[in-house]
Amino acid sequence: MMKKLYMQLIAEFKRLGSTIVFASLSKIIICTKKRSVSDAKAYVDFILNSIHKKDLFHSIEIKAESCWEYLMWMDQANHGGVRGKLPKENDDEEPVDGTAYLNDSNDELIAAAPEDEPNVEMNWNMKKYLPTAASCQNYFQIVIASHIHAMYNHSLEERQYIEPGNTPIKKRTSSQSQRVAETSATPSLVTFAQERISGDLTQTLFSVTQKIQHTLSGDRSSNTDPSAEFPLLPGSHLPLNNPALEFVKFICKVLSLDSNTQNQVNKLRRDLLRLLGVGEFSSEATFRDPCSSLVLPEVICLSCNSCRDLDLCRDPFIAPAEGNKPASCRCANLECGGEYDMDFLETQLIDMVQKQSMAFILQDLKCVKCRGVKATNMSRYCTCAGNFAYTAPIDDFFDKLKTFRNVASHYKLTLLEETVNWIMERNPYMSK
C-alpha cells in the first residue's frame, strides 16, 4: 500500500509539470525550471496545495525543506552543487534557485556556509575509489568544484542584468532552443558551459592527466603494480589498474550529467583517451560505477524512530573500525544523531546472507534452448533436448557474497565474515 501511494504521488508530481530528479519513500527532489528561489518556492507551494486537497494524499506530510541553486546529480551518493536558502514567510529577499528539494525527514548532511559566500557542496562517492597518490582525489575535487562554482557565478552575473519580473529574450537556433527548453539554463549559460569545457577545462585536464599518468603509470622500469594504488573499500568490485584512465572516466562522467554539453564532453573524452592510448569504444574506456551496493532496508533509529534504507557501501554516516574502536553508524537525522546497534545490524546482514543462499539453492532450473522451467525432477534434458541452467547465475550470487565479505572485513563484523566464508568454502563452484 505504501508503494502504491508512493507511485500515485510521483504520478501527481509529473502531471503538475515537475521533473523528478530523485524520489524515495522519504524524500523527493524535483526540478522546477524556475530561475529564482521565490518563483520555485511559489511553484512548490502550489503543487503541495494541490496534492493536499486530494483525499488520497491526506495521510502524507510533505514540505519544502531545502533547495539547490545549482545541482549536478548522478545518484544519491554522487552529487554536488550550490545550496540555496529558502525564503521565510516574512522575508522579501529573493535568492536564486533552479531546483527545489523536498524532504519530509531531514536525512542529508547540510553543511553550513556564510550568507555572503556560496557553499559548493561535494558528495561524490566515486572519488573515494581513486588513488590518494599523485593527488588524484584532490584533482577530482578541484576540477568538479571549480566547474560548479564557475557555472554558479556566471548565472549570478547574468541575473544582475535582468530586471525583476522580466524574461530575457534572445534568438536561439532550433537545435539549441530544443535543448535549453528542457532545463532552467539560459542560452547564455549553455554557451558559457560549452566554451569553458572546450577551453580552460580541456587544457587543465590535459596537464593533470599527463601528470597522473607520468607519476603512477608512466615509469615502466619500476616493478610497482598500479592497481595497488587504488583503495580497497566495502564496495570495491572492479579490477582497477590504471589511475589516469579511471580519473578521466570519472571526470567525463560527471561533466556529461549536463545534457547541454554532451558534444563538448564527448570530444574532451575522446582526446583524453587518445592521450592515454586507449580506444574510445574499447571496453576499458566504458564507465562503470566502482562501488557496488548493499542495502539493508527499513533500518529504524531507536532514538527518533526515523526509518531509512541503509547502504553499507555508500552511506556517509558509517564510520569504519579503527584499531580497538569498533565500527559505528549514526542516524542521518541531524536533530538526533543517535548511534545504531551494530550487533543488530550484523544480525540482519547474516539473515540476508542466509536468505539469499537459500533462494539460490531452491531456485528453478530453465532450459537454455526454449527458456522453459524444469517441471520434472529426474530428467537431465528438456523435452526439446536442451540443457538446463540456473535461473539466477552463480556468478551474480558469488559477487553478492564478495560484497558481504568486503563489508564484514571493513567494519570488522566477525560473525558475518565467518558465515560468508563458510558458505563460499562449502560450495565447490566458488573460490576466493
Q: Looking at residues 211-217, what average pLDDT do you find? A: 86
Residue 290 in domain: no
The total number of structural domains in the chain stands at 3
Regarding whether 274 and 139 lie in a shared domain, the answer is: yes
Same domain, 138 and 276: yes
pLDDT digits (tens, 9 = 90+) for 2-31: 889 999 999 999 998 888 999 988 889 998
The verdict on 373 and 413 lying in the same domain is yes
Both 153 and 271 in a single domain? yes
Residue 207, in any domain of the structure: yes
As beta bridge partners, residue 103 has: 27
Q: How many CA atoms lie within 13 A of 312 on its CB side?
A: 28
Residue 432 included in any domain: no
Binning the chain into helix, strand and coil, the percentages to the nearest 5 are 45, 15, 40
Same domain, 339 and 370: yes
pLDDT for the residue 146: 92
d(CA 180, CA 193) in angstroms, rounded, equals 12
- Do 249 and 147 fall within a single domain? yes
Q: Model pTM? A: 0.81
Both 339 and 261 in one domain: the answer is no
- Check residue 25 and give its pLDDT: 83
Whether residue 380 sits in one domain with residue 259: no
DSSP string, 88-132: PTT-------SEEEEESS--S------SSS--EEEEEGGGGGS-S
Same domain for 305 and 257: no
Counted residue by residue, the chain has a size of: 432
Q: Flag whether 177 is in a domain.
A: no
Residue 168 domain-assigned? no
Answer with the one of 285, 309, 324 that is the final residue of a domain: 285
- pLDDT average, residue stretch 374-398: 88
Give the mean pLDDT of 390-418.
Answer: 92
The helix/strand/coil state of 308 is: strand
The identity of residue 3, as a single letter, is K
Give the domain range for residue 405: 295-426
Q: Is 259 found in the same domain as 139?
A: yes
pLDDT band at 101 (very low <50, low <70, confident <90, very high): very low
Q: Is residue 386 part of a domain?
A: yes
Selection from 69, 50, 76 nearest residue 118 by Cα: 69
63 within domain boundaries = yes
Residues 351, 257 share a domain? no
Would you say residue 319 lies in a domain?
Answer: yes
Residue finishing a domain among 285, 305, 321: 285
Residue 253, pLDDT score: 94
Using DSSP, state whether 324 is helix, strand or coil.
Answer: coil
Q: Out of 230, 258, 285, pick the residue that ends a domain.
A: 285
Report the chain's terminal Cα–Cα distance, integer Å: 42
Strands (E), 1-94: 19-23, 27-31, 64-75, 78-83
Tell whether 247 and 325 lie within a shared domain: no
pLDDT at 97: 41
Decide if pLDDT at 168 tops 70.
Answer: no
